[in-house]
Amino acid sequence: MRHEEIRRLLPGVFQAAAAPGTALAALLALMERLHAPTEARLANLDEVLDPRRAPDEFVPFLARWVDLDVELAMGPERLRVLVALGAELSRWRGTARGLTAFLEAATGMTGFKVDDAVRDKRGRTRPFHIRVTAPASLQPYHEQLEAIVLREKPAYVTIDLPLTFA
């Protein structure tokens, strides 16, 4: 805020006393300089809150806003994608679609399958049980993938571990 704008906010008596060259005019000029960095930051606040443009050190903070564990992303760029998709992923959380979307966003790869019609040894469908199949190229990351699946699946659902890779 410019010192003239600050001056207009003052009562009439102070406006008259803030003529150029006075102590009050100097104080208003100082206020302008002190406010400048904050106003510059606020003018570009969208750059900080957008996970695609935010500084690297701020992205983990944004991840906490959308309830994401930083460790679940495979690198800082994948974390940016997860944070950007946070609302959509939350909307589908607990579904096969949501789990698949989360795995794809976290890894940057496609080809995940969530089977919710897993059969037991007698050929009967196991209720509330899933099997996740991941691309074979992600086998070195099986622990991280299992952590994602365990966090993103509904609490009442059981799962075949270790994951299947195809």
For residue 164, what are the β-bridge partners?
133
Token duo for residue 137? 């190229």
Same structural domain, 83 and 109: yes
When pLDDT is cut at 50, 70 and 90, the band that residue 41 belongs to is confident
Residue 72 has pLDDT above 90, yes or no: no
Same structural domain, 105 and 52: yes
- Residues spanned by the domain of 62: 48-165
Same structural domain, 37 and 53: no
What does the pLDDT read at residue 80? 95
What does the pLDDT read at residue 32? 92
Buried b (16+ CB within 10 A) or exposed e, 56-90: eeebbebbeeeebeeebbbeeeebbbbbbbbeebe
pTM of the model: 0.74
pLDDT digits (tens, 9 = 90+) for 92-139: 998 999 999 999 999 999 999 999 999 999 999 999 999 999 999 999
Same structural domain, 90 and 16: no
Residue 27's closest CA among 41, 14, 37? 14
Instruction: Give the chain's mean pLDDT.
Output: 92
Same structural domain, 87 and 134: yes
Same structural domain, 22 and 85: no
